[in-house]
């Protein structure tokens, strides 16, 4: 099996590579920050080479009370949370507008296997929807609106849906993993624990060869 792992930035890429060690069958490439660049970078890589599975991996924000700093979130769904329209009555989804879907399903069996192996390894991990947004949430109000609107929202990041859409259009299964560096809510950049998140990302990726051994 050949697996493509897309990270936004080089520090995440290095953490993934450290975790994978000398394992064969993985390519780890940069997606850039944001869903548009991530979709384009993923599509370009998928045009260059054949892959059986695509994974969007990196750090992310955790929803308070669900995913703490230093923990992991394995995506149950990958959701473009800001794809739609605002209205005086509230957010109107792309589904309600009749323009397609804001939700991409993950490769369920492998996601559950990764979740189980992470739990077995003693790591703090949650399974739930991971949101993709072009703008990092920076207020308690937006965090609350997202949690109310998207049932079970566990984490947010900026690339998952872009990576996933490129894979989906080619019929390639997709997964997403986020290591939590900060809580979703009022912006306090000095409280981000990128070091903790990168360590968790590395630990999670060290289990990937075992996840795919079936
Ligand atoms: O400054 C560093 O050393 C550093 C190392 C690794 C990654 C970063 C980033 O800033 C990556 C940006 C990346 O992080 C995701 N992210 C993290 N928290 C959130 C959030 O609360 N909401 C949305 N996205 C988040 C996102 O995917 C960015 O691409 C810096």
- Summarised one tens digit per residue, pLDDT across range 81-126 is 999 999 999 999 999 999 999 999 999 999 999 999 999 999 999 9
Helix (H) or strand (E) holding 181: strand 174-183
Sign of CA dihedral 156, 67, 204, 115: negative
* Ligand 1 pocket residues where CB is under 6 Å: 8-9, 11-12, 33, 58-61, 133, 136-137, 156-159, 181-182, 184, 194
Query: Which residue's CA lies nearest to atom 1 of ligand 1?
Result: 194
Q: Whose CA is nearest to atom 30 of ligand 1?
A: 194
Give the helix, strand, coil percentages of the chain, each rounded to 5: 40, 25, 35
The predicted structure's pLDDT at residue 91:
97
The residues, any chain, with a CB within 8 Å of residue 192's CB and separated by 6 or more, are: 181, 182
* C-alpha closest to that of 72 among 89, 82, 60, 86: 60
Instruction: Give yes or no for residue 146 having a pLDDT over 80.
Output: yes
Residue 136 DSSP class: -
Q: How far apart are CA 196 and CA 17, in angstroms?
A: 16
Mutate to test the pocket of ligand 1, among 59, 147, 153 (most ligand atoms within 8 A of CB): 59
- Backbone phi and psi for residue 178, each to the nearest 5 degrees, phi listed first: -125, 135
Residue 21: strand, helix, or coil = coil
For 39-88, how does the pLDDT look when each residue is reduced to its tens digit (9 = 90+)? 999 999 999 999 999 999 999 999 999 999 999 999 999 999 999 999 99
Distance 59 CA to ligand 1 centre (A): 6
Residue nearest atom 21 in ligand 1 by C-alpha distance = 61
Closest residue by Cα to residue 157 from 124, 182, 189: 182
Question: Is the Cβ–Cβ distance between 108 and 159 less than 8 Å?
Answer: no
| Interface ipTM > 0.90 | yes
């Amino acid at each position: 099996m050949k697996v493509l792992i897309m990270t936004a930035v080089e520090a995440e890429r290095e953490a993934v590579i450290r975790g994978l060690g000398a394992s064969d069958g993985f390519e780890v490439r940069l997606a850039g920050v944001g869903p548009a660049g991530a979709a384009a970078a993923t599509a370009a890589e998928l045009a260059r080479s054949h892959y059986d599975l695509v994974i969007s991996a990196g750090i992310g924000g955790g929803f308070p009370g669900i995913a703490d700093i230093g923990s992991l979130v394995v995506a149950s769904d990958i959701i473009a949370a800001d794809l739609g329209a605002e209205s005086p009555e509230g957010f109107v989804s792309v589904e309600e507008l009749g323009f397609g879907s804001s939700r991409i399903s993950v490769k369920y069996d492998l996601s559950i296997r990764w979740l189980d192996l992470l739990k077995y390894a003693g790591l703090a991990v949650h399974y739930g929807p991971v949101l993709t947004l072009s703008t990092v949430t920076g207020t308690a109000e937006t965090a609350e609106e997202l949690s109310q609107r998207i049932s079970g929202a566990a984490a947010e990041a900026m690339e998952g849906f872009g990576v996933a859409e490129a894979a989906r259009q080619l019929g390639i299964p997709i997964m997403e993993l986020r290591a939590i560096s900060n809580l979703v809510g009022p912006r306090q950049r000095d409280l981000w624990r990128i070091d903790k998140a990168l360590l968790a990302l590395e630990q999670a990726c060290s289990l990937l060869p075992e996840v795919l051994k079936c």
